[in-house]
Amino acid sequence: MLYSEEKIKAALGDHRDTVKIIIDDVTASTNDKGKAIAASGESKNTLILAYRQHKGKGRMGRSFFSPEGGIYMSLVIPKTGLDPEDIPLITPAAAVAVCRAIETLTPAEPKIKWVNDIFCNGGKAAGILTETVFSSEDFFSVVGIGINLIPPKGGFPAELNGIASSVYGEGEEIPQDIMSVLAGTVTRELLDLTVTIPERGFSEEYRRRSFVIGKDARVIKNGIPTEAHIVDIDKNCRLGVIYRDGSEEYLLCGEISLRF
Ligand code: BTN
């Protein structure tokens, strides 16, 4: 499975001329490369793709397992035009973009686990890490997306057993250009969704694609887990929870665990 710049551009549609594409065989982290590009003042949207990462980063300081067979991409968006308080909505927008692309192009039925995980085939098949680089007048968003496309050779590491999954299962037929078409489609959808953030154009879709409402969870804040019941996702993609003591909270960012 190889990337083709031509196929990526075709999938970018109207955005084909506004996105610079960089394809690396291996890099430490496409997000780190994206942050360096942002810091250099690049004025064009830039999509960085790698076949493998040797220092792939997840949220909360975790690593992201990035062997061959996955899509590791970061989209650098200079001058999003967003208000700073809207920055946290970029990750939910990316989650919707990933779901739309997977649902349209593959047999999988993606679902969102608030806030940034995409589940397919019973486990986490994709994750999103959005980082922000501030410049004097504006800020750059670096939206990093890792998609486990096929089961890794040799399987997932033991610590991901029962947690990680992939978009395609063992033995499923993989379309030849799927890496390029998925990466280009996710990018196109994300660029389209980003401009709708101020009017919360996709929150209803984010809510509909989420599978956590009505479930019991542990809410992890500052490393401390608290048991809660999930009751809502609002128009700002905040998670509404009720704790055991009856108190309620809407969370803008953070982490939940559904495994007890
Ligand atoms: C998470 O699930 O915690 C977020 C995972 C984000 C992984 C992607 S892979 C491409 C980009 N580069 C990185 O180092 N991380 C993101």
Print the SS3 string covering the chain: CCCCHHHHHHHHHHHCCCEEEEEEEEECCHHHHHHHHHHCCCCCEEEEEEEEECCCECHHHCECCCCCCEEEEEEEECCCCCCHHHHHHHHHHHHHHHHHHHHHHCCCCCEEECCCEEEECCEEEEEEEEEEEECCCCEEEEEEEEEECCCCCCCCCHHHCCCECCCCCCCCCCCCCHHHHHHHHHHHHHHHHHCCHHHCCCHHHHHHHECCCCCEEEEEECCEEEEEEEEEECCCCCEEEEECCCCEEEECCCEEECCC
Are 166 and 220 found together in one domain? no
Instruction: Please state the pTM of the whole predicted model.
Output: 0.97
Distance 63 CA to ligand 1 centre (A): 8
Predicted confidence pLDDT, tens digits, the chain (260 residues): 899 999 999 999 999 999 999 999 999 999 999 999 999 989 999 999 999 999 999 999 999 999 999 999 999 999 888 998 999 999 999 999 999 999 999 999 999 999 999 999 999 999 999 999 987 777 899 999 999 999 999 999 999 999 999 999 999 999 999 999 999 999 999 999 999 999 998 999 999 999 999 999 999 988 899 999 999 999 999 999 999 999 999 999 889 999 65
Are 190 and 227 found together in one domain? no
53 lines ligand 1 (CB under 6 A): yes
Say which CATH number the domain at 109 has. Answer: 3.30.930.10
Are 226 and 102 found together in one domain? no
Are 62 and 143 found together in one domain? yes
The minimum-distance atom of ligand 1 relative to the CA of 31 is 12
The minimum-distance atom of ligand 1 relative to the CA of 73 is 10
46 lines ligand 1 (CB under 6 A): no
184 lines ligand 1 (CB under 6 A): no
Give the whole-angstrom CA distance, residue 160 versus residue 179: 23
Are 142 and 123 found together in one domain? yes
74 lines ligand 1 (CB under 6 A): yes
Say which CATH number the domain at 216 has. Answer: 2.30.30.100
57 lines ligand 1 (CB under 6 A): yes
Distance 73 CA to ligand 1 centre (A): 8
Are 72 and 171 found together in one domain? yes
Are 123 and 156 found together in one domain? yes
Are 37 and 157 found together in one domain? yes
Are 146 and 226 found together in one domain? no
The minimum-distance atom of ligand 1 relative to the CA of 55 is 14
pLDDT number for residue 260: 57
Are 197 and 243 found together in one domain? no
- Can you give the residue range of the structural domain that contains 253? 212-257
Structural domains counted in the chain: 2
